[in-house]
Amino acid sequence: MQIVQQVLFAICLGAAIWFFSKKAKEIRRNILLGVAEDLTDNPTQRWKNMLLLAFGQQKMFRNPMVAILHLFVYAGFVIINIEVLEIVLDGLFGTHRLFLPMLGSFYTFLINSFEILAFLVLASCVIFFIRRNTIHLKRFISKDLNGWPRSDANNILITEIVLMSLFLLMNSADRALQLNAAEHYQETGNFVLSGLIAPALAGLSNSTLVIIERSAWWLHILGILAFLNYLPWSKHLHILLAFPNTWYARLTKAGIMENMTSVQNEVMYMMQPELAPSNASAPAKFGAKDVMDLSWKSLLDAYSCTECGRCSAACPANATGKLLSPRKIMMDTRDRLEEVGRNINVNKVFKDDGKTLLHNYITVEELRACTTCNACVQECPVSINPLSIILELRRSLIMEDSNAPGEWNAMFSNVENNFAPWKLSPDERDKWVEEV
C-alpha cells in the first residue's frame, strides 16, 4: 500500500512540474517576441531595486495596514513552502516527518513558526476577501475586473485560506495521534496552534485520525501543486515575476521620453544632408501596433501586473471619467500576447489573425486621454510602466496612421515650421518684451 502511494505521489509531482514547465516556457517565448532592449546596466542599483520593491515591498507601505497584511501573506507563501520540501520528500520516500530526527527540538520551533505564519496568512486572506467583496473601493469595483479577473482574485484568496486550514488540520490530527501513541507518529513536542485542537481530536479512534491526517496531507500537497499550475494563468504570476521585473526596470528618470534614433537621424540628415550615409534606409515602422512591436520589457510588465489598480486610482484621466485605465492597458496587452502565443502553438509560427493590440484591444480614445504624467509608473509596486506601451501605440497611431486630432496636427505643424507649439514666427518671439 505504501509503495502505491509513493508511485501515485511521484506521478502527481512529475505531472505538476511538467505542466508548469511547459507553460513557463511558453510565457518566456511570448515575452521574447518583443523588441530587444538592453537593461543590464548599473547592476548595483538593479539589485537594490529588487530588494526594496520586490522583497521589501517598499511602495506597499504607503498604506501601512494593507502592507502589513500583504507582508504576512507574502512571508507565509515564501517561508511555509520550506515545509513543502519535507512533504515532497516524505511523499517520494514513504517517510513521515523526515527532518524530525535530524533537527530535534529545532524542528518543533520551525513547525510552530510555520503555524503562526499559516494563521496570519489565513486571517489576512479572510480580511482581504471581505475587503475586496464588501468594501466598495473604486479600484476593486471597476469594470476592468468584470468577469475572470474578479473571480481570479477571489479564487486565490479562497485557495490560500483552504491550504492554510489543511496545514493546521494535518498537524492537529498528527499531534492527536502522537498523544494516542499511534505507531509511526513520532513525538514532536507540542504545536503552538494545532496543539490546542489536538486534545479535542484525541478521543477519535486512531484509524479515523489517520484518515483525517492523510486526507489533509494529500489535499494540502495536491492543492499546492494545483496552485503552482494555476499561477501562470493568473494575475498572481507576479509572485514569481515581480523579482525579475523590478531588476530589469528602466533606470531613467520618470518623465524622460525616449526618442526614435531613426527619426532623429531623419531630421539631422534633412538639416545637414552631407551627414546622410549613402545606404541610409527608412525605418521599417514607427512605434508599436501589436505586441511584437513592443519592448520585451513591456511584455514582461504585462505578465507581472498584479491588477491591484493603484495605477488607475492615481491616473488623473481615469479620475475625471475618461476611458483610460492604465490597469486595463496592461491586462489588454497580456490578453493579446496570450492570444498570439496560442496562435503560435497551433501554427508553429505566428499567422496574421487580422487583429492588433491597437484598435482591437486598446482604443484611440484611451490613448488620447493619457496626459503622460507618470502617475501610473510612480504608483506601481512592482515597477510596471504602462506609459511606455501608451507612448509606443500613440507613436504608431500618429506616425503610421496619421491619426491625430486637429489640435495636435496644428501643434505639429507649428513645431515643424516655427520650432515651437505656438503659431509665432521665431523672429517675433521677443516682441512681447517690447510690449511689457
Confidence of residue 433 (pLDDT cuts 50, 70, 90): confident
C-alpha cell at 351: 499567422
For residue 110, pLDDT beyond 70:
yes
Residue 273 forms part of a structural domain: no
Phi, psi of 362 (to 5 degrees): -115, 130
pLDDT given at position 282: 66
What lies within 8 Å, CB to CB, of 388 at 6+ separation is 250, 294, 295, 297, 298, 301
Residue 380 — pLDDT band, cuts 50, 70, 90? very high
Count structural domains, the chain: 2
Give the residue, 160 or 260, on which the prediction is more confident: 160
Listing DSSP states for 3-16 in one string gives HHHHHHHHHHHHHH
Which triple of cell numbers denotes residue 24? 513557463
Q: Assess whether 83 and 181 both reside in one domain.
A: yes
Q: Are 35 and 300 in contact (CB under 8 A)?
A: no
Same domain, residue pair 191 and 305: no
> Do both 242 and 296 map to the same domain?
no
136 CB-contact burial (10 Å; exposed 0-12 / middle 13-18 / buried 19+): exposed
280: confidence class by pLDDT, cuts 50, 70, 90: low
pLDDT tens-digit readout, 175-195: 999 988 888 888 888 888 998
Asked which of 140-154, 217-231, 332-346 is least confident by mean pLDDT, the reply is 140-154
Residues 205 and 84 in one domain: yes
Q: Per-residue pLDDT for 249 more than 80?
A: yes
Please state which of the ranges 151-155, 334-338, 348-352, 425-429 shows the lowest mean pLDDT: 425-429
Secondary structure, 3-state, 323-380:
CCCHHHHHHHHHHHHHHHHHHHHHHCCCCCCCCCHHHHCECHHHHHHCCCCCHHHHHC
Q: Is the residue at 13 inside a domain?
A: yes
Is residue 296 assigned to a domain?
Answer: yes
Look at residue 267 and tell me if it is in a domain.
no
Question: Does the pLDDT at position 244 exceed 80?
Answer: yes
User: Which of 291, 356, 376, 225 shows the shortest CA–CA distance to 27?
Assistant: 291
User: Both 242 and 292 in a single domain?
Assistant: no
The three cell numbers locating residue 119: 494563521
> Helix (H, G, I), strand (E, B), or coil: what is residue 35?
strand
147 lies in the same domain as 197: yes
Q: Do residue 10 and residue 109 come from a single domain?
A: yes
Per-residue pLDDT, averaged over 103-120, amounts to 90
Residue 126's CATH number: 1.20.950
pLDDT at res. 71: 82
Quick check: 276 pLDDT over 70? yes
The domain boundary, picked from 189, 219, 247, lies at 247
Rounded-to-integer distance, Cα 390 and Cα 264, Å? 20
Cα(83)–Cα(118) distance, rounded to whole angstroms?
11
- Alpha-carbon gap, residue 365 to 15, rounded angstroms: 45
231, 247, 263 - which closes a domain? 247
Residues 232 and 297 in one domain: no
Per-residue pLDDT reduced to its tens digit, 46-87: 999 999 988 888 888 888 888 888 888 887 777 777 788 889
Same domain, 238 and 297: no
pLDDT for residue 429 is more than 80? no
Task: Compute the average pLDDT of residues 94-102.
Answer: 89
Asked if residue 298 and residue 170 are part of one domain, the reply reads: no
With 80 as the cut, is the pLDDT of residue 239 above it? yes
Closest Cα to residue 258, out of 232, 235, 288, 229?
A: 288
396 HSE (CA, 13 A, CB side): 22
Weakest mean pLDDT among 93-97, 119-123, 174-178, 272-276: 272-276
Strand partners, 295: 35
Query: Comparing C-alpha atoms, which of 307, 299, 317, 298 is closest to residue 380?
Result: 307
Q: How far apart are CA 414 and CA 423, in angstroms?
A: 6
CATH number for the domain harbouring residue 308: 1.10.1060
Distance between CA 368 and CA 365 in Å, rounded?
5
Quickly tell me which residue has 501562470 as its cell.
232
pLDDT, average across residues 331-359:
95
Residue 110 sits in the same domain as residue 235? yes
Are residues 199 and 317 both part of a single domain?
no
- What rounded mean pLDDT belongs to the chain? 89
Interhelix angle 326-347/296-304, nearest 10 degrees: 110
Note the pLDDT of residue 392.
93
Cβ-Cβ contacts under 8 Å for 190 (sequence gap 6 or more): 108, 175
Q: Is residue 92 part of a domain?
A: yes
Q: Output DSSP code: residue 256.
A: P
User: So what's the pLDDT on residue 12?
Assistant: 95
Structural domain containing residue 85: 2-31+63-247
| Residue 254 included in any domain | no
pLDDT tens digits, 308-341: 899 999 999 999 999 999 999 999 999 999 999 9
Integer Cα distance of 111 and 116 in angstroms: 9
> CA torsion, points 221, 222, 223, 228, in degrees to nearest 10?
90
> What single letter denotes the amino acid at residue 320?
T
* 387: pLDDT strictly greater than 70: yes
Domain contains 127: yes
Question: Where among 216, 247, 278 does a domain terminate?
Answer: 247
Q: Is 115 within a domain?
A: yes
Rounded to an integer, what distance in angstroms lies between the CA atom of residue 194 and that of residue 22? 38
